[in-house]
Amino acid sequence: MRLFLDTANIDRIRQGVKWGVVSGVTTNPTLVAQEGKKDYQLLVKEICSIVDGPVSAEVVVEGVDDMTSQARSIAAWHPNVVVKIPATPDGLEVTSKLSREGIKVNMTLCFSANQALLAALAGAAFISPFVGRLDDIGQDGMALVKSIMDIYREYDFDTEVIAASIRHPLHCVAAAQAGADIATIPFDVLEQMIKHPMTGAGNARFLADWHRVVGQSK
């Protein structure tokens, strides 16, 4: 399973790439707004200069014609850009058009296996089931990821599954166990994945013992 960062924060993306574990980025209008960025295009281009992998940028208009036009413009920003299209009837039509043009689509806001099936049939490159938001309303978000993976394997679909709306490290483990192709995660979850109190305590003990031995040998 690959890891993407779900953020528009440049510093955090740089750090994730330095750690050697981040192979893509997903953004959305909310994440961009949180960074106070007004020029979405410049921000996405900067992200593409940092991470050598898919970078999802979302359309922010409605209607088939307007969504299609904006999606084409977004796709032209950089070869690594993937256009995020919502899992709606209009989004399905737009995805079908774009996929025939060779434009990669990440169909987002997926909350059902039916939506995922339609996304694959329409030619979406990625589908993003929102795990955390389903958990929030008392449904099992990770069960949806597993259902989608079972369907995609059965029919050998090329669409990759991005477990999205990840809230904590256990979601990442569950996504990997479900066979998700990708998990897109906030930076704080990435940090939590590597940290463990016993690792910190053990490392501190090893270093203390080493310094004590070195000090005694002088």
Q: Looking at the annotation, which residues are catalytic?
A: 84
CA angle centred on 118, ends 114 and 123, rounded to 5°? 150
Q: Is 156 helix (H, G, I), strand (E, B) or coil?
A: coil
**What 8-state DSSP symbol labels residue 164?**
B
Task: Give backbone dihedrals phi and psi of 91, rounded to 5 degrees, phi first.
Answer: -60, -35
Residue 186 Cα to chain centre, angstroms: 9
Q: How far apart are CA 85 and CA 184, in angstroms?
A: 16
Q: How far apart are CA 66 and CA 182, in angstroms?
A: 29
Residue 81 CB contacts under 8 Å (≥ 6 apart), including other chains: 44, 48, 54, 55, 56, 57, 74, 75, 104
Strand partners, 185: 5
